[in-house]
Amino acid sequence: MTDVCLTFDFDATSLWVTTLRQTTATPLSRGDFGARVGVPRLLDLLARKSVMATFFTPAHTAVSHPEVVRRIRDAGHEIALHGDAHETPVGLPAGQEAALLDRQIARLRSVLGAGYRPMGYRSPAWDLSEETIGLLQDRGLIYDSSMMADDVRPYLAPLAQTADADSYRRGADSRLVELPVAWELDDFPHFAFLNKPMYAGLRNPDEVLAFWCGEFDFAHGVNGVLVLTMHPQIIGRGPRLIMLDRLIDHMTAAGARFDTCAGLAARWRDRLLPSSSSRDA
């Protein structure tokens, strides 16, 4: 059986404010589309298909759109960490990165309630500092979804990776499950258009549907996993949502099992760390 995680990076305006540094009306409206139009459409589709998903949500999004984030939670979907304001952890001093992790958790709890416990993290930059995995592990998270050392198999995230012109050194395994991502399985490079800097996506949804069906078919053939990364402000447009509907049907017909990242990571954690349940008890 092929496990599929549909994941949505609910960046809203944080992407434009922090990463792209565009704060005028039109770029901000693109982020607002994700909250006003994209998420409600996605929640309706997921409910109709009886599919649970994971929404990686910056704290900036949660405090800006609390009612939308609570609607995601109330529909039973997972809300995972995605930065405080969609910042990169790369280059941050360990103390500052730790403080940002604690701040984003606290701000999400201010919206979702004191009982909110994040299980996973995805770097807004799809890149990590040497300290990130250790910081996540110290805070009780069970997975990360930012790296690419496999395509169809989760693995234990290394605590650190270093390289220079002479060698590459992979750190010791952490106890976090890595749910691998890929640019090929992200809607942003396929569809996004930016004029500052110039970045042209705008592919036909039928092309991307064929591409993603092929990725699923390969994973299915080897009993692997597929982690799709999408953004409400991108995938939420009408024809692309129809494409996602058709993709879900294709995967369902093949017998795919849809799960949240937390659910998938918990099963793989038991497999990769057989004694994890007893140690965590």
Average the pLDDT over 56-60 and give the result: 98
Average the pLDDT over 60-73 and give the result: 98
Model pTM above 0.75: yes
Percentage of the chain exceeding pLDDT 90: 92
Does an H or E element contain 199, and which?
Answer: strand 198-200
Are 3 and 257 in contact by the 8 Å Cβ rule? The answer is yes
pLDDT above 80: residue 279: no
The maximal CA–CA distance of the chain, rounded, in angstroms, is 53
AA letter at 111: V
* Neighbour tally for 151: CB within 10 Å: 18
User: Which pair of structure tokens corresponds to residue 140?
Assistant: 């009780």
The CATH classification number of 3-280 equals 3.20.20.370
Are 231 and 12 in contact by the 8 Å Cβ rule? The answer is no
Q: What is the pLDDT of residues 116-139, one digit of tens each?
A: 999 999 999 999 999 999 999 999
Q: What is the pLDDT of residues 146-160, one digit of tens each?
A: 999 999 999 999 998
Average the pLDDT over 31-56 and give the result: 98
Quick one: pLDDT band at residue 1, thresholds 50, 70, 90? confident
Q: What is the pLDDT of residues 176-231, one digit of tens each?
A: 999 999 999 999 999 999 887 777 889 999 999 999 999 999 999 999 999 999 99
| Residue 118 backbone phi and psi in degrees, to 5 | -70, 140
Q: Which of 38-42, 238-242, 274-278 has the lowest mean pLDDT?
A: 274-278
pLDDT in the model for residue 276: 57
pLDDT above 60: residue 161: yes
Quick one: pLDDT band at residue 278, thresholds 50, 70, 90? very low
